Chains A and B, each alone.
Chain A
Amino acid sequence: MVIETRVDERTVRAALADVPDPELPVASVVDIGIVHRVEVTNEAIRVELLPTFVGCPALDVIRSAVHDRLAVFDRPVEVAFTFAVPWSSDRISPAGLDRLRSAGIAPPVGPGGSPACPWCGSADVALDNLFGATQCRSLHFCRSCRQPFEGLKAI
């Protein structure tokens, strides 16, 4: 393993941009907007993350992936989750939304609204189920290209 000698908030955030979200692996934890605070001191690197859902079962996986990725800095890493700022789907970056769309996952729209089909762009879509394969996703069907697709819940 190569030890990185330069450690500051910017290099830590850049490293976190390589950590995929376990349930939406085309996007990183930075794209999804769950990285809240990054603090680097001589003693430790502290990272505060915002759970997308309170009961997200992927939290332990995310914690250990962050630990593994930051090991290159050769400094103790502390990962904490906080609700002090509620994660919202508005925190997903434009690049993150593009990556999700390319994987067939439509961007979040509020309850009652309907997303455009991520495959063909049509607005002629139906909501099949508010609830999907993970807590953060819902199920839709495109009447134009006749393909099912997933959408992120607006939270």
Chain B
Amino acid sequence: MTAAADLLPATRNALSLLLLSMADDEFVIGFSDSEWTGIAPLLEEDVAMSSIAQDEIGHARALYELLADVVADGRDADAWAYDRPPDGYYHARLLDHPRGDWADTIVRRYLYDTADAVRLDALAGSSFAPLRDLVGKLRREERYHLMHVEAWFERLARGGAEPRRRLLDALQRLGPDAGTVLTPLPTELALDMAGILAAPFPELEARWRASLAAAFGHLDLPPLPPTRDPGTARTTHSDAFRRLHEEFTLVRRIDPEATW
């Protein structure tokens, strides 16, 4: 399938939900991480986190553009990004936590990036060519994010009393929501049937948990808990997200025609 017009209605719905979940994930983590610009603990990290956040917002834009093509209801990428109420967003609950301290940010990124890498791997051979092409490009960039966050995760885990305590605290806060990135979408059967996704989400989640269990064992960290309340993994949002939404929609609400 090379064009959105070729899709069957059930496939189109399922693909829309997948694209929406991926775009919102990238958009929300990109915005959260951009809050470190100017105040990161080291100058190098200020540059790195800002650059990573910029990548993620760019990935979100490309995914929203694809979503706009597939849904084809007249909304463009900006309308998808900015014109929904907070409850209309479909990002994973892992990304719904407040920015927190540096350990929260590293743990959130680590859990998200490792899960996202598994999701992108499962889309690399997708039957929907525009998504396959985009994913091919995204994976080349995401491996730099992974290298960065893996180095930091290990640094905190081995960094002595305070860094390790903060890492463990952050894992306690975020761990129960870590699996929400790969919690099955309600329409996932249609994705499997159309060959859009290489394996069902429960299989992807098992793969991701196995690789994390090895990494955690290596760093002597407690195992990740199972997902808390998977039925609302992407549908209930926190006050922290409402505040973030208030901020990232501000310019759009003041001047809907504004361009950069």
Contacts and interface: CB of A to CB of B under 8 A. Distances in A.
Interface of A: 51, 53-57, 82-84, 86-88, 111, 128-133, 135, 139, 153, 155
Contact of B140 (A82, A86, A130): A86
A139 B138 CA distance: 22
A131 B133 contact: no
In order of increasing CB-CB distance, the 7 nearest A-B pairs are A55-B58, A131-B51, A131-B48, A83-B133, A129-B44, A86-B137, A83-B137
A128 B143 CA distance: 18
Interface residues of B, number: 26
B95 to A, nearest CB: 18
Given A129-B44, A130-B147, A153-B144, A55 B57 contact: yes
B141 interface: yes
Contact of B55 (A129, A132, A135): A135
A153 B141 CA distance: 10
In this complex, the member of B59, B130, B133, B137 whose beta carbon has the largest number of chain A beta carbons within 10 angstroms is: B137
Majority-rule SS of B interface residues: helix
B199 interface: no
Contact of B48 (A57, A82, A83, A130): A130
Contact of B133 (A86, A128, A133): A86
A19 to B, nearest CB: 21
B58 to A, nearest CB: 1
Contacts of B47: 129, 131-133, 139
Contact of B62 (A55, A128, A129, A155): A55
In this complex, the member of A56, A88, A131, A153 whose beta carbon has the largest number of chain B beta carbons within 10 angstroms is: A131
A78 to B, nearest CB: 17
A56 B51 contact: no
Given A111-B144, A129-B47, A83 B134 contact: yes
B203 to A, nearest CB: 26
Nearest to B140: A155
Given A129-B47, A130-B147, A132-B51, A55 B140 contact: no
11 contacts: A54-B58, A55-B54, A55-B59, A83-B62, A84-B133, A129-B48, A130-B147, A130-B148, A131-B50, A132-B51, A153-B144
B141 A54 contact: yes
Contact of B58 (A53, A133, A153): A53
Nearest to B132: A83
B48 A53 contact: no
B136 A54 contact: no
B123 interface: no
Nearest to B138: A54
Contacts of A135: 51, 54-55, 58, 141
A53 B141 contact: yes
Nearest to A51: B137
